[in-house]
A and B are shown apart, each in its own frame.
Chain A
Amino acid sequence: MIRNINILLADDDVEDRFIISDAFDTIGLADCIQFVEDGEKVLSYLDTIGEPVPLPNLVILDLNMPKLNGTQTLKLLKEDQRYNNIPVIIFSTSLNELEMQECMHLGANSYVIKPVTFDECIDTARRFYNFCEGTYQFPTIE
């Protein structure tokens, strides 16, 4: 089965990468997701790919990352004409109102709190996929 969904997730926490990877694996969508360690790697990854490899359908950014953090990366992506159409979801441990407002203002599609339980992780992975398919919309937080 050929899948044309490609998600890029940036998180400096190896365990978090493993958890999400495991969740995608559990639902049989392991090849739909790629991982990088920080914001800088997001940009360099995007810069190295090109035709015929398509741009990711979704970029998921952790907030607290070394070098380029989530907010900075989001800003750079939205300022770049090549990438500003890629949907971006912020993926954070806790809800910080101010950061969330800033991210939404910068053009993030949603702000998702990292899941806690195993089941929630699987749900979240499925929602990311469904979001790319256009079958799920994350609730917009004001």
Chain B
Amino acid sequence: MQPIVKVTLENERGLILAHKKSMQLVQLSGMSLAVQTSFASAVSEIARDCITTGQGAYMNLGVQIRNKEKYLSAAIHDRNPSFINASAGVACARRLVDELDIQYSDQGKITRLLLKIPTHLQFSKARIAEWKNYLDQEIPLSPYQENSSKDEQLKELAEKLRESESRYKLLTDTLPLMIFTTDPAGKITYYNKYAKEYFGTTLDQLNESLWTYHIHPEDVAPDTPTIWFNNVVKLQPNQGEFRLRNKQGALIWHQLVSVPLDDTQHFSRVGFCVEIEAHKRMEQALSDNRELRETKQELERYQLELEQKIEELNRSNFELSQFAYVASHDLQEPLRKIIYYSNFLQQKYVGLIDEQGTRAFSNMFSAAQRMKQLIHDLLSLSRIRKEDNFTTATDLNQIFQEALQDLEMTIREKGAQVSMSSLPVISANPVQMRQLFGNIISNAIKYCAPDTQPVIAVHANNGGNGHVMLYIRDNGIGFEEKYLEKMFSLFQRLHTRDKYEGTGIGLTICKKIVELHKGNITATSTPGIGSTFIITLPVN
């Protein structure tokens, strides 16, 4: 250490001198009043202890250079080593300087206070010599002078503090974020202009309504007492995301960070809130986007599955219709032989068989005939397939005439009377149309009371929307309309065979043909009066 000035510490005067010279040295080195006061106070704290309890104490003020760093140094020598325990004064002084260490020896102890000189403050040996001269001068001292000089210093410090405070206030008030301080209980003690304008309430109101109104309840756990800190680690910085309600009532996402203040007021906090609404929305949009993408992928997967299912279904349908065709074709072969042989026996051996046997042959013959009809109808049904369904311009008048020709025998037998108004030309499959009309007219004749002459009337009108409506009205036995759906289902019959013959396939064929043509078939009826079958077909 390069000593500059020595101060004997034996009485109050020494204490004042030590304070004064320390102030002056710091001032000479070019540092601020706050630093001057800090350093001088630290020196005073140690010096006071020495004056009270020490022996032959003195202080050397000087400059010390260590590791190229320059320090102002105050080394306080005390010959009384017994005072070993660090006093409150030492603790206080330690906070005010950069370094404080105490060396003990036979000669006593040396307390060394170091104050780092900022690197931008350059000074030479000549300057140090000047300081020495200046500080060596006897300082005239009177208690009055001392007091008034202290007052001046205090005023100056207070002024600086005010300035600093207003600078910070200006800073916090112009930042586009909320800044708070809270007391240990979490009560807000300060908020900046931004926060005040955001909430539009006074501090007291805010403290009252923060939990009940300004924070979205979903964003805090029910048992959380405060958003400022986490109960478990009160000393840790805490952060969270909350929706805060502004004075217009809108909830806006904010991120809150609060830090415990490292001072004697335990767990007081300073915190700030930054708006992260855009960030949250972006996050939401990204997540929505991802969900959308996932949903889309899922949909595509379903679509694929559906297509596979449809393909399977089509294949299975095709196989089924193939089966129906092959089965019914091959079933016909032996059946034909049964019919032939029973008929053959009836014809050729009629004299050799008794009455009972003849009846049995007759029953067998008609049973076989029914089976033949059944197979024939099933075959017809299986042949009505979309794949084979070509359409062409079809004159329904002509088709109806053909269907009537097919039924010529029956019509003549029953003496049926069929009238027809003009029918349109539509795009359809002529073979299927003939089958459709044939089935319905055949039904109309078949389901007629025994002693009634069947009267059938056919007419058409415009069904609108590119459709034509065909009406086939009869005076038959009719049906109860609650059986309508059943009537169009496969193998469903409304009458016993001994009254009215049938396989229960005819109307199913009609329905299939109409549906293949993208049309619709239904019927209305009054039992005992008659029925009207209504067919809607697209013109094209």
Mark A residues whose CB is within 8 Å of B: 13, 15, 19, 93-94, 96-98, 114-119, 121
Contacts and interface: CB of A to CB of B under 8 A. Distances in A.
A117 B329 contact: no
B332 A19 contact: no
B340 interface: yes
Contacts of A96: 329, 383
Given A114-B336, A119-B347, 11 more contacts: A93-B329, A94-B328, A94-B329, A97-B431, A116-B343, A117-B340, A117-B343, A118-B340, A118-B344, A118-B347, A118-B348
Contacts of B346: 118
A93 B347 contact: no
Given A97-B383, A98-B388, A116 B339 contact: yes
A81 to B, nearest CB: 34
A94 B376 CA distance: 8
Interface of B: 328-329, 332-333, 336-337, 339-340, 343-344, 346-348, 372, 376, 379, 383, 388, 431
A119 to B, nearest CB: 7
Contacts of A13: 333
Contacts of A98: 388
Contacts of B379: 94
A116 B339 CA distance: 6
Given A94-B379, A97-B383, A97-B431, A117 B332 contact: no
Contacts of A119: 343, 347
Contacts of A97: 383, 388, 431
19 contacts: A13-B333, A93-B329, A93-B332, A93-B336, A94-B332, A94-B379, A96-B383, A97-B383, A97-B431, A98-B388, A114-B336, A115-B340, A116-B336, A116-B339, A116-B340, A117-B339, A117-B340, A118-B344, A118-B346
A11 to B, nearest CB: 11
A98 B376 CA distance: 16
Contact of B343 (A15, A114, A118): A118
B327 to A, nearest CB: 12
A96 B431 CA distance: 12
Contacts of B347: 118-119
A96 B333 CA distance: 14
Contacts of A121: 340
Contacts of B333: 13, 93
Lowest 7 A-B CB distances belong to which pairs?
A118-B343, A117-B343, A118-B344, A118-B347, A116-B339, A93-B332, A94-B329
A98 B348 CA distance: 38
B254 to A, nearest CB: 77
Nearest to B325: A96
B509 to A, nearest CB: 14
B230 to A, nearest CB: 83
Nearest to B347: A118
